[in-house]
Amino acid sequence: MQETIKEASTNAEKKRLIEAKIEQLHARLVWVADALIPSDPEGVMPSAKEAGVVDKYLARALLLRDDMADQFFADIEGLPNDAPADGLAELTALGAGFGRISRLVSGAYFLDEELTGRLQYRGQEEIVRDQDYDPMIAAIETVLNRGQLYVDAPDD
């Protein structure tokens, strides 16, 4: 029985399995990536193929999201080897598989630092929450810092 990527015990083993699957399904992966991210008509942004998504970045994206890798490859295996006339229609017919494939391919596309530099996109950043933040105190803090403004009205 073939070991799944998720079950592989080390990252090195996962990477080996991912790279073998990419090599096996390379033709499909190239047309899929190009159907999802085609060439920019103005030539400003490269297509997925021009950016080398399948050859340079897809393995890394799949290693980062190894929880999706096995199903991603199962989705790809259900597609024709040669690019269909309407590749995007073929992909959207996959239903949930379309979301999985498009997430991983676009994620791989954005691993290209030169490309993200053009977009001035720094990538996802961690949001650090202040553990000492209390919404009630935050709402009244300015009032507490400012001090009392109440002035007694004259009795007349």
pLDDT surpasses 90 at 99: yes
pLDDT at 129: 72
Q: At what angle do helices 26-36 and 66-77 cross, to 10 degrees?
A: 100
pLDDT of the residue at 74:
94
Res 1: pLDDT: 41
Average the pLDDT over 74-99 and give the result. 92
Query: Which residues, 6 or more positions from 18, have their beta carbon under 8 angstroms from its beta carbon?
Result: 5, 59, 62, 63, 66, 69
Q: What tokens were used for 82?
A: 């040669």
Give the tens place of pLDDT for each residue, 125-139: 777 776 677 777 778
Rounded CA gap, 58 and 33, in Å? 10
Q: Can you read off the two tokens belonging to residue 132? A: 């000492």
pLDDT in tens, 18-56: 999 999 999 999 999 999 999 888 878 888 999 999 999
Residue ranges per domain, the chain?
11-125
Q: HSE of 145 in the Cβ direction (CA atoms, 13 Å)?
A: 6
- For residue 108 the two structure tokens come to 């791989």
- Among 68-77, 105-114, 140-149, which stretch is predicted with the lowest mean pLDDT? 140-149
**Which helix (H) or strand (E) segment is 98 a member of?**
helix 96-109
What pLDDT score was predicted for residue 134? 77
- The confidence score (pLDDT) of residue 2 equals 61
Contact 18, 5 (CB under 8 A): yes
